[in-house]
Amino acid sequence: MKLLNKTALITGGSAGLGYAVVKRFLEEGASVVFTYRSGREKAEAMIKEFEGCNVYGFQADVSKSEEVRALIDFAMEKMGRIDILVNNAGVFDKRKNILELSEDEWDTVMDTNGKSVFLTCKYSIPHMLEQGGGTIVNVASVATWSLNAGGTAYCASKYVCQALTRRIAKDFGRMGIKCNCINPGTMETKLTKASIDNPDDLIHQMADRIAAGRWAQPEEVANLILFLSNSESDFMQGSPVLIDGGWSLL
């Protein structure tokens, strides 16, 4: 098992990619705390599904400092340490340009996709340093390579996520902190199904144009996060890793 006796904190872990990462980490022997913003019943069903594993759900808005501090305290109480942090929580902006985008929408996207990474790293890294090291994987987006993948706020927020990744690797790499990010394209989830099935939607149209000829399954992206979270990737630092089926080649 690649994560035997390791502990992991995964934000946005109750659906889509987050769920796939939780499942994959548990299969590899990790203890996991995952966050969810709403849907307590769904989170409780997940815990029941993985009965026999060390898995805990925590309801939090990870863009709020006080809730992130409570989350870190909870993770430390349940697991005793945080070996791996996966920042997966995120929202989309419906590809709105700067004139279409309201200030409130900008704040929501930037806080959820950018500020949350700042907060979880800020409050997790001290524990990682105290225990001798740790691993951080941030989920950015192909939108840092292709502006067709999002609107003004989404693209900006994912650049923030990628920049934070590189800065953390530079500042703390020699202290035992490994920090990388992934840049996924579209994945087939319940949230994206309507776009994938709609011939008038850009996502539907792009699937036939990219090199892979299809969109990713969440499990495929979760496998990359697993790789970046275990010792096989220990020489990687500050790397923005694409997993987009060739979208960025267009």
Buried/exposed code over 162-174 (b: 16+ C-beta within 10 A; e: otherwise): bbbbbebbeebee
**What are the Cα distances from residue 214, in Å, to 148, 229, 247?**
17, 26, 10
**Own/partner pairs, 167-173, CB within 8 angstroms, 24+ separation:** 168/121, 168/125, 168/136, 168/238, 169/237, 169/238, 170/238, 172/125, 172/129, 173/237, 173/238
For the question of residue 154 being annotated catalytic, the response is yes
Catalytic residue among 19, 36, 123, 154: 154
Q: Please state, in angstroms and rounded to a whole number, the distance separating the CA atoms of residues 23 and 59.
A: 18
Q: Is 75 helix (H, G, I), strand (E, B) or coil?
A: helix
DSSP state of 94: T
The catalytic site residues sit at: 154
